[in-house]
Amino acid sequence: MHRRSANGRKPQAGRPFTAPAPVSSAYATPARSALPSAYASEAEVDINDGMTKLSINALTLDVPIANAPKSKRIKQEPFRFLDLPYELRLEVYGYHFANTGDILDLDPDNYKRIHQKLAILRTCRTIYREASYLFYSTHPVRIFPTHPGRFFKTKKPLLARLKPGQRGMLTSLELRLGPGWSKPPRGWVVNPELGLKDCVGVKKITVFVECDPGNDIFKGFRRAEGFYEGFSKSLLEKVLDEMPWVDYIEFDAWPSVKKSGALMRGLLEVVADRGLKRGWGSERGWTDADEVEEAHKPLDLNAPILTTTQLRILLLHGASIEAMAHGRERDPREMTLTPAKFTGGQPEDDGMYCPGLHAMPLDTSTYNLALLRVDGRRWNELRRLHAQIRTQAAADGSSYLEMGNTKVMCVVSGPSEDGSGRRKGGGAAGASASTGATGSAANGADVAVSLVVAGFSSVDRKKRARSDKRIQELQATISKALAATLHTHLYPRSTISVGLHVLSQDGSLLAALINASTLALVDAGIPMTDYLVACTAGSTSSYAANDEGADPLLDLNTQEEQELPYLTMATLGATDKVAVLVCESRVQVARLEGMMATAADGCRGIREFLDGAVREKGRKMVAEGAVEKGATMAMDIDV
């Protein structure tokens, strides 16, 4: 039998035996070290040191290590919070709920400010009763939500989401009027589900008015005369019917609201008829005294004439503010209080039409009190235009156009026979639309339009497929418009391919596509009747059908297209002949004439710009010697 080793393992045969390496002295420097010795010499070591007298076996891990004695932990007694006096506990609760806001309402930030603070209610029943009573009794609750978005349109306000016991702890409510003055939300209804009858502890209701639609500046935007005034009065009456024990109503408002307005008069009548006490909030600073109307300074006809190119606001004998923006000198004595009207399809005063301020609401984000749009333009100003032609040397015709932040590139191929030009125009990259059915190209050229919208062109970064309905509609509209303008009868049994690429979208997309196609076709040398130019126009007011002061807007961007009704119109040359008219939004017929007249003015301005770009390119080509200017050239590029 083989002899086993002490550890129970077999000795491996053939394995060479190696002697253990000698251990160097603790006082010697290792032989492989090239540095000076850092060890203490034997002469420097104290032989009486206790560590030197220990044996080697005592330094191994086999010897049990004596653990150091642990100090006893002193058990801390919990703080007996409930042993504090009730008054001190209320002070602690008050400090805890200090930064939770003044009024409770549905808000996306509630989980940051309030939700974490309410965790104290889960401690015990005693703290729940005390802390919840202090929290709900010191924080008024807004009856109907006013935060924009999904909370504003909800059918279950915060008051209805509270438990009956929590509603019973409330001592004050707030009714805020003004949001949704043109169309109140459907959830603003007083019913048993709202839980007003459970608010037995409420003694005061605060009515805060943000705006009064009865003011003249809201003319043209009101749903009906006196609609919101009656709605607010009825809403307050229904709230008081559900809570007959309330005996104090406090009124407050923003500085623009007048106590003598129609809305405030109706609310004060409700309080007076019920014999309730009324008070005034600190925001508006009203008192029981009658409100004093501010006297307007009369116009001094001998004052020096104002000359400015920006907005001028004049106060005329207590009338509403009238704003007029003119680029030339004008005598204040010639100004009238009535805004200009459209006559004969065109604005008066050389196109410098500017209606009165009463046509605009206070809170509109499209057209503020300064009569300037969000991008700083006035109502009849075009965005920045930039155009280039012959940008692609390999194509028959090409162009690049910028209308504001809308950027479009166009490539034209053809006329070519047997549909070969369709492949050249980039039809494989996106869907294409043609002007005619099978065999229609025998009498004239077929105009095939393909449109590719880049995924990064818009904010939502949405990539449109080839079969997208919106792309197909744009292709069909552009194809029919170009076919009616081009002399297609000169190229029978052929195809003119137009490839459009959208690089950036910021409104007026169809107009930019048509204008870019026109430039590329001119560069390709395909005969056409005249420039086909397009522009958009919108209306700032969409509620009052017979409002003569509704503003038209020219060349809309994306934000304006989302908020306002608008149309896209394309005209042929300087004749104002309408070739394309597309309106996909609901608009009053009375405003259609003004919108079309504004769009026609914009088309004339765009035509002049495109014509100047073509002439500039022609002058460069003549100067470079690329082409020769003939004596009988039909278009004089020197003009």
Q: What is the pLDDT of residues 211-262, one digit of tens each?
A: 988 887 777 777 788 889 999 999 999 999 999 999 999 999 998 898 988 8
SS3 (DSSP) at 380: coil
Q: How far apart are CA 17 and CA 153, in angstroms?
A: 89
Which of these ranges, 97-106, 350-359, 456-465, has the smallest mean pLDDT? 350-359
The verdict on 262 and 395 lying in the same domain is: no
341 pLDDT band, cuts 50/70/90, is: very low
Task: Write the Ramachandran bin of 486: left for phi over 0, alpha for psi from -120 to 50, otherwise beta.
Answer: beta
Q: How far apart are CA 114 and CA 92, in angstroms?
A: 16
Q: Around Cβ 488, how many Cβ atoms within 10 Å?
A: 25
In whole angstroms, how far apart are CA 336 and each of 309, 321, 332, 348, 392?
A: 19, 12, 9, 13, 54
**Mean pLDDT, all residues of the chain:** 76
CB 517 within 8 A of CB 478: yes
pLDDT tens-digit series, residues 111-159: 888 888 899 999 999 999 999 999 999 999 999 999 887 888 888 999 9
> Residue 416: pLDDT above 80?
yes
The pLDDT assigned to 66 comes to 59
The verdict on 271 and 399 lying in the same domain is: no
One DSSP character per residue, 416-429 reads EETTHHHHHTTGGG
Of 598, 590, 588, nearest to 554 by C-alpha is 598
pLDDT tens-digit series, residues 443-459: 788 999 999 998 888 87
The verdict on 466 and 600 lying in the same domain is: yes
346 pLDDT band, cuts 50/70/90, is: very low
Task: Identify the residue whose tokens are 């059918």.
Answer: 155
- Relative to beta strand 566-572, strand 577-582 is antiparallel
pLDDT tens-digit series, residues 496-526: 999 999 999 998 999 999 999 999 999 999 9
Query: Mean pLDDT, to the nearest integer, of 573-592?
Result: 85
Which of these ranges, 42-46, 318-322, 382-386, 531-535, has the smallest mean pLDDT? 318-322
Q: How far apart are CA 233 and CA 639, in angstroms?
A: 67
Give me the residues paired with residue 486 across strands: 528
Element (H, E) at 412: strand 406-417
> Residue 442: pLDDT above 80?
no
SS3 (DSSP) at 599: helix
Task: Identify the residue whose tokens are 């309905």.
Answer: 469
Task: Identify the residue whose tokens are 């420039």.
Answer: 531
337 pLDDT band, cuts 50/70/90, is: very low
The pLDDT assigned to 278 comes to 92
Q: How far apart are CA 278 and CA 249, in angstroms?
A: 5
The pLDDT assigned to 386 comes to 93
The verdict on 269 and 393 lying in the same domain is: no
Of 603, 635, 602, nearest to 618 by C-alpha is 635
Mutual angle of helices 509-524 and 469-485, in 10-degree steps: 40
The pLDDT assigned to 459 comes to 78
Please check whether residue 262 lies inside any domain of the structure. Answer: yes
Tokens in use for 168?
Answer: 């019973």
The verdict on 275 and 390 lying in the same domain is: no
CB 308 within 8 A of CB 332: no
Please check whether residue 538 lies inside any domain of the structure. Answer: yes
The verdict on 418 and 273 lying in the same domain is: no
Backbone Cα Rg of the chain: 41
CB 465 within 8 A of CB 535: no
The pLDDT assigned to 45 comes to 53
Cβ-proximal residues to 579 (8 Å cutoff; 6+ apart), any chain? 481, 484, 485, 532, 570, 571, 572
Please check whether residue 41 lies inside any domain of the structure. Answer: no
Please check whether residue 429 lies inside any domain of the structure. Answer: yes
Please check whether residue 127 lies inside any domain of the structure. Answer: no
CB 397 within 8 A of CB 415: no
pTM of the full structure: 0.45
266 pLDDT band, cuts 50/70/90, is: very high
Task: Write the Ramachandran bin of 257: left for phi over 0, alpha for psi from -120 to 50, otherwise beta.
Answer: beta
Query: Mean pLDDT, to the nearest integer, of 593-622?
Result: 90
DSSP E strand stretches across 542-639: 552-554, 566-572, 577-582
**Residue 490 belongs to domain with CATH number:** 3.30.230.70
294 pLDDT band, cuts 50/70/90, is: low
In whole angstroms, how far apart are CA 50 and each of 39, 66, 133, 392, 624?
A: 19, 17, 71, 93, 103
The verdict on 557 and 443 lying in the same domain is: yes
- Between 180 and 61, the more confident residue is 180
Of 269, 289, 292, nearest to 280 by C-alpha is 289
Cβ-proximal residues to 340 (8 Å cutoff; 6+ apart), any chain? 347, 348, 349, 353, 354, 355
Of 501, 512, 406, 504, nearest to 458 by C-alpha is 504
The verdict on 421 and 545 lying in the same domain is: yes
The verdict on 430 and 569 lying in the same domain is: yes
The pLDDT assigned to 150 comes to 80
The pLDDT assigned to 298 comes to 52
The pLDDT assigned to 439 comes to 41
Query: For 306, which DSSP code?
Result: P
321 pLDDT band, cuts 50/70/90, is: very low
Q: Around Cβ 265, how many Cβ atoms within 10 Å?
A: 15
End-to-end CA distance of the chain: 120
> Residue 546: pLDDT above 70?
no
Q: Omega into 415 within 30° of 0, i.e. cis?
A: yes
pLDDT tens-digit series, residues 583-606: 988 888 878 888 899 999 999 999
55 pLDDT band, cuts 50/70/90, is: low
The verdict on 272 and 415 lying in the same domain is: no
306 pLDDT band, cuts 50/70/90, is: very low
Tokens in use for 354?
Answer: 């500017």
Query: Mean pLDDT, to the nearest integer, of 535-560?
Result: 74
Element (H, E) at 161: helix 158-161
CB 126 within 8 A of CB 86: no
Q: How far apart are CA 261 and CA 263, in angstroms?
A: 6
The range of the structural domain enclosing residue 243 comes to: 140-280
Give me the residues paired with residue 413 across strands: 497
Please check whether residue 506 lies inside any domain of the structure. Answer: yes
Q: How far apart are CA 216 and CA 227, in angstroms?
A: 14
Please check whether residue 327 lies inside any domain of the structure. Answer: no
Q: How far apart are CA 49 and CA 593, in angstroms?
A: 111
Angle at 304 between CA 337 and CA 321, to 5 degrees: 25
Domain boundary (259, 280, 301) is at 280
The pLDDT assigned to 313 comes to 36
Task: Identify the residue whose tokens are 């004089």.
Answer: 636
Domain boundary (247, 265, 280) is at 280
Give me the residues paired with residue 498 across strands: 412, 449
SS3 (DSSP) at 209: strand
Domains contained in the chain, number: 2
The pLDDT assigned to 357 comes to 32
Domain boundary (257, 280, 303) is at 280
Please check whether residue 80 lies inside any domain of the structure. Answer: no
Residue 33's Cβ-side half-sphere holds a number of Cα atoms within 13 Å equal to 9
Cβ-proximal residues to 416 (8 Å cutoff; 6+ apart), any chain? 424, 494, 495, 497
